Chains A and B, each alone.
Chain A
Amino acid sequence: MKNFYSHLIEIDSIILELDKMDLSKEQKQHLADILDSSLHHTILDAVLSELNENDKKIFLRNVDEGINAKIWEFLNGKVEHIEDKIKKAAEDLKLELHKDVREAKKHD
């Protein structure tokens, strides 16, 4: 089962950067998990920020049920261009993470 936003966001570019670093498998996994969780919370924030309190609860309940079609039907009915907003939030985060990777490589 994928997250409702999985089809919108790729994190290959960051994973590839991690692959280029001198890291053990466990260390890569550790960093990838932080990345994954950061992305998850960023996207939740991006979506919730577009909804009123009542709609936030409906959305969270939908996510909890894990029926992606239901989630998108709801979001598309409530927020214009929600996919673009999710992509934008993810891209902004990825830019920051890429910057962190570049700086970390200086410590190689």
Chain B
Amino acid sequence: MNFTSTKPHFENLRKKWIIRHRNIQQNLWDKHKESLTWLGKNLSPKKLVLGSLGGLMLLNSPYQSLSGGVHLAQSKPGILEGFDQNVLLASQLKEVMPEDVRPLDKKEEIDILNILSRDLGIKASAELAGIRLNRNYGLIGGEQHLYRYPGDNLQAHADNSADWAKYGGSGIAPGLGAWGYFTPSKEAFSEKDKQRERYYLAIQTFLAPGFAENVGRYRDFFKFRKMIVINPRTGQAVVAVIGDAGPAEFTGKHLGGSPEVMDVLGLAGGPRKGPVLYFFIDDPKDTIPLGPIKVNNLG
């Protein structure tokens, strides 16, 4: 597949402006938390248009005055339109999070899980089927793409030039993930397989308590196990699956994320790492889609 050339000046400006926008939002929230929370509780949810695309809901709306005429700041139907309500999640988490990036104690774990269940509308859990990870708060680092089927290549991972521009640079790991290929052949490759590779995590499954004594059971449990990962500083959150084991302990990192996961978490730039919360999702009927997840109401 041939891709159109990217425009570095656009990417440069877009990234700067998105970071600036997020800082402005965060500043607004930090300074006026009480009144904004009041506003959220006293307006109809329809007026509080939820954020998307990393908190920039307005990016999806047409900008009518782009061409022609004098450009005046345009109206928006809701005061908080464009306000990423996942910032509210970050604010709530801030109250119960430890300052250091360390394993959570029981009270912290319960408080955090209560907030996640309420704000995200999912059943997140530190323990499922009697299995826990070594920790649920740690440093995530950016991983490469994974081969999905025999004969797969890096370019095939991108649906369009935007995909390529955003994620192509991450490269593809030379080896396979912990479960081998996502599917045995290109012919058998499905949308579900595609989403699993897009939103995969490398988890230190080998450090889970009891792993050495129950390798087979644990392996089956961890394979493509659905998880929620949250950047507690911003509230950005993603639903992903365990697609690989790692990283090694000596790296100082505690889990890894696919290029798309890192992008959703707002950690795709700079050192490509940062602290995150990560928990299992109890979703036996597989109803929760992989990808970004937004706060569904104001707490």
Q: Which residues of A contact B (CB under 8 A)?
A: 1-3, 5-7, 9-12, 15, 21-23, 25, 27-45, 48-49, 53, 56-57, 60-61, 63-64, 66, 90, 93, 96-97, 100-101, 103-108
Question: How many angstroms between the C-alpha atoms of A97 and B42 in the bound complex?
Answer: 34
Dominant secondary structure at the B interface: helix
Q: Would you give the shortest CB distance from B27 to chain A, in whole angstroms? A: 6
Residue of B nearest to A44 (CB): B28
Among B32, B58, B65, point to the contact of A34 (Cβ < 8 A): B58
Contacts A29-B63, A104-B16 given: A45-B73 contact, CB under 8 Å?
no
Q: Which of A1, A64, A103 contacts B47 (CB 8 A)?
A: A64
Q: Does B1 contact A (CB under 8 A)?
A: no
List, in ascending order, chain A residues with CB within 8 A of B70's CB. 10, 12
On whether the beta carbons of B31 and A37 are closer than 8 Å, the reply is no
List chain B residues, Cβ under 8 A from A21.
9-10
Q: Contact check, A33 vs B59: say whether CB atoms are below 8 A apart.
A: yes
Q: CA separation between A91 and B27, bound complex, in Å?
A: 18
Chain A interface mostly helix, strand, loop or mixed? helix
* Count of chain B residues near A, Cβ 8 A: 46
Partner of B24, one of A1, A41, A57, A90: A41
- Cβ contact within 8 Å between B31 and A57: no
Which of B13, B21, B65: most chain A CB closer than 10 A? Answer: B13
In the complex, whether B17 has a CB less than 8 A from a CB of chain A is yes
CB neighbours (8 Å) of A41 from chain B are 21, 24-25, 28, 82-83
CB of A36 within 8 A of CB of B74, answer yes
Known: A29-B62, A33-B63, A38-B21. A104 touches B9 (CB 8 A): yes
Contact of A9 with B72 in the complex, beta carbons under 8 Å: yes
Q: Is the CB of A96 within 8 A of B20?
A: yes
Chain A residue nearest in CB terms to B62: A29
Task: Indicate if B102 sits at the interface (CB-CB under 8 A).
Answer: no
Specify which chain B residues have a CB less than 8 angstroms from the CB of A64 in the assembled complex: 39, 43, 47, 78-79
Q: How far is A43 from B61 in the complex, measured between Cα atoms in Å?
A: 20
